[in-house]
């Protein structure tokens, strides 16, 4: 359930990014130009970081669901998941 913590943290960062953008808007109405620049950068990093965490959480959930559908026995713990076989060119014979 680690993807739930990622999703909660992602929504928190998105909300903080939106709050930072609101502060930028309020400061722009008062013509605080020099204070706008760092606050804008902070808002961009917070918002993009939150979006990234949300994408990772959704991808983790999709992978877990795909594994359950593809390998139903392995999800129950009765059989190991199949692994990819690696082959070297030296062992290949026509």
How many C-beta atoms lie closer than 10 Å to residue 10's C-beta? 21
In a domain, 80, yes or no: no
pLDDT of res. 76:
59
pLDDT of res. 67:
85
Q: What is the CA radius of gyration of the chain?
A: 23
Q: CB–CB of 57/86 below 8 Å?
A: no
Domain that holds residue 18: 2-72
pLDDT of res. 86:
56
How many Cα atoms occupy the beta-carbon half-sphere of 12 within 13 Å?
6
CA angle 7, 8, 12 (to 5 degrees): 115
Number of domains in the chain: 1
CA angle 65, 71, 74 (to 5 degrees): 105
In a domain, 87, yes or no: no
In a domain, 59, yes or no: yes
In a domain, 85, yes or no: no
Per-residue pLDDT of the chain (94 residues; tens, 9 = 90+): 677 899 999 999 999 999 999 999 999 999 988 999 999 999 999 999 999 999 999 998 998 888 888 888 765 555 555 565 555 555 555 5
In a domain, 55, yes or no: yes
In a domain, 77, yes or no: no
In a domain, 78, yes or no: no
In a domain, 11, yes or no: yes
């Amino acid at each position: 359930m680690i993807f739930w913590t990622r999703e909660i943290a992602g929504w928190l960062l998105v909300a903080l990014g939106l709050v930072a953008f609101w502060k930028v808007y309020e400061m722009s109405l008062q013509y605080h130009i020099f204070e706008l620049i760092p606050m804008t950068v902070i808002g961009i990093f917070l918002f993009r970081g939150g979006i990234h965490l949300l994408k990772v959480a959704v991808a983790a959930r999709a992978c877990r669901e795909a594994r359950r559908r593809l390998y139903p026995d392995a999800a129950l713990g009765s059989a190991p998941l199949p692994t990819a076989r690696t082959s070297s060119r030296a062992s290949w014979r026509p």
